[in-house]
Amino acid sequence: MTITKEDLLEARYRTEKYIHNTPVLSSSTFNSAIGGSIFFKCENFQKAGAFKSRGAINAVFSISSQEISKGVATHSSGNHAAALARAAYLRNTKAWIVMPENAPKVKIEAVKNYGGTIIFCKPTLSARESALQEIIDKTGAIEIHPYNNEKVIAGQSTAVQEILEVIPRPEIIITPVGGGGLLSGSALAAHHFSPGTKVFAAEPLNANDAFLSFTSGTFIPSVNPQTIADGLLTSLGDITFPIIQNHVNKIITTDERSIIKAMKWIWERMKLVIEPSSAVPVAAIFNNPEIFQNKTTVVVLSGGNVDLTKLPWQ
């Protein structure tokens, strides 16, 4: 199954009423520093604090009334967990969320706030997968994977669809890449609605599975990656990887120090609370200004969920 232009348009129509059309901001200081024209799509302002609400809403609202009645399920310790719980709440169904027992309290609270049911498990991928399978077997809930899911990818494409309505034909769109849901959705949106736009990804050097897979042409998963960008720990999926191979132009990796510096810069100068994952493309631009000089670039600031009592510069 491929994701068509119509799937993207349908996702836009389906999600519109449940998500924010987030603002696009810019900074003259940043533009002067880089010598280009950089715009920031503020998905940190998105419902539940991250772009993940787009994919979750599109997936949950694509399911028939009959099928949805048994609820949805996923394993996630991050933004997809809260986004899915919220989408299920809005669809008037249940969400079963498998979370590692060491998940941040703030993420657990977010899922609870939206009425999601949490199943705690040991913090390993196999424990997460088996706990998820168990709950699906027991409840008949439908699994909504955080990124390796066509409806989720089509949902994530809506951020770029919105961008193109306010910044027509940017030369570059850059997003962070973890599992590749946002990146592949963005790449498909650019491909169909602004074919002249290049799509770049930014990835932590310490979790560079997408970079390695992309440059080698073979899927190479992350092994125990250690990065402050906690939204980018996952590896690409078998749906996202081919889309990225076909439609992404470049993946830029960034070191941890640059990520923290870029994050602090955005907080301090643009007064935006962004999470470390959002800072990865900002760091990529700071470290490679020559690529962005004299160009119009849109950065997707993917989310803003951080623990304010544990900031990386302290």
Residues contacting 28, CB < 8 A, separation 6+: none
> Which residue in this structure is represented by tokens 């060491």?
102
CB 303 within 8 A of CB 176: no
> Least distance in Å: CB of 138 to a copy of itself?
33
- The residue (of 190 and 266) whose beta carbon lies closer to a copy of itself is 266
- The residue (of 224 and 313) whose beta carbon lies closer to a copy of itself is 313
- The residue (of 291 and 306) whose beta carbon lies closer to a copy of itself is 306
CB 211 within 8 A of CB 203: yes
- The residue (of 21 and 215) whose beta carbon lies closer to a copy of itself is 21
Residue 246 carries which side chain, given as an amino acid letter? N
> Least distance in Å: CB of 308 to a copy of itself?
6
Residue 66 carries which side chain, given as an amino acid letter? Q
> Least distance in Å: CB of 89 to a copy of itself?
13
- Tell me which of 37, 53, 77, 302 is the catalytic residue: 77
- The residue (of 18 and 96) whose beta carbon lies closer to a copy of itself is 18
> Least distance in Å: CB of 173 to a copy of itself?
21
> Least distance in Å: CB of 247 to a copy of itself?
29
Integer angstrom CA distances of residue 198 from 129, 242, 291:
36, 17, 12
At 241, list the tokens.
């990887």
At 206, list the tokens.
């310490």
Binding site for a copy of itself (CB under 8 A): 23, 25, 42, 44-45, 49, 264, 267-268, 270-274, 304, 308-309, 311, 313-314
Residue 49 carries which side chain, given as an amino acid letter? G
Residue 271 among the catalytic residues: no
Residue 70 among the catalytic residues: no
| Beta bridge mates, 118 | 97
- The residue (of 136 and 270) whose beta carbon lies closer to a copy of itself is 270
- Tell me which of 41, 52, 94, 107 is the catalytic residue: 52
> Least distance in Å: CB of 225 to a copy of itself?
25
Question: In this structure, what DSSP letter does residue 116 have?
Answer: P
Helix (H) or strand (E) holding 287: helix 276-287
Residue 96 carries which side chain, given as an amino acid letter? W
Q: SS3 letters for 181-242?
A: HHHHHHHHHHHHHCCCCEEEEEEEHHHCHHHHHHHHCCCCCCCCCCCCCHHHCCCCCCCHHH
CB environment 273-308: b (16+ within 10 A), e (fewer): bbbbbbbbbbbbbbbbeebbeeebbbbbbbbbbbee
Q: Which residues are catalytic?
A: 52, 77
